[in-house]
Structure 1
């Protein structure tokens, strides 16, 4: 199966990837090259050390803390399956 072409078609979409060793990853496809796909995996951590479950006030107008993403590069030869996932805000 041509996972590189599938990843190009799913660029910037929220996907799940299962690898040959049984690992599962879910995230947005951020980059595709000849050998790897890069996922941007969302976490519950906020930038500047603010936890996601605490609401803090006193920000300047228009400033909101942003969610942090970790990048994970996965080689195409290690992918067992890839599938689209629903993403809700």
Structure 2
């Protein structure tokens, strides 16, 4: 696939969760954030957060929870998933396919 075809393919999948395969065999998955003439910018999820391990960094007296509620408190959800930006060259793009996002 040449660079113009790769750029058009990436534009068609803008803001979608995709799997990208590079010509050297490396695979990345993330959300297509931006495409320019030479590069593809992906927002790659960092990973799942272990909420039990997070509590270990903020221990409460006697091993209990503040106000008698475990984290997250009622009415509050878990923190959002974190993303990092991955910049990939369009010249090395071999394939791009859609993935379901969970």
2:26 is equivalent to residue 29 of structure 1: no
Measured after TM superposition, the shift of residue 62 of structure 1 is: 5.6
Q: Please list every run of 5 or more consecutive structure 2 residues that lacks an aligned counterpart in the other structure.
A: 53-69
Moved over 3 A (4+): 61-64
Identify, as 1 or 2, the structure richer in helix: 2
1:12 aligns with 2:15: yes
CA distance in structure 1 between the aligned counterparts of 2:42 and 2:16, rounded to whole angstroms: 10
In structure 1, the residue matched to 2:47 is 44
User: What corresponds to 2:100 in structure 1?
Assistant: 86
Deviation at 1:67, TM superposition (A): 1.5
Structure index of larger Rg: 2
* Structure 1 residue 65 displacement after superposition: 2.0
Stretches of structure 1 lacking an aligned partner (at least 5 in a row): 46-51
SS in 1 for 2:42: strand
- What is the number of equivalent residue pairs in this alignment? 82
Give TM-score, length-normalised by structure 2.
0.69
Aligned equivalent of 2:50:
53
Distance 1:54 1:10 in 2: 32
More strand by share: 1
Match of 1:77 in 2: 91
Change (3 A) 1:54 1:35: same
For residues 58 and 10 of structure 1, do their structure 2 counterparts lie closer, same or farther at Cα, with a shift above 3 Å needed?
closer
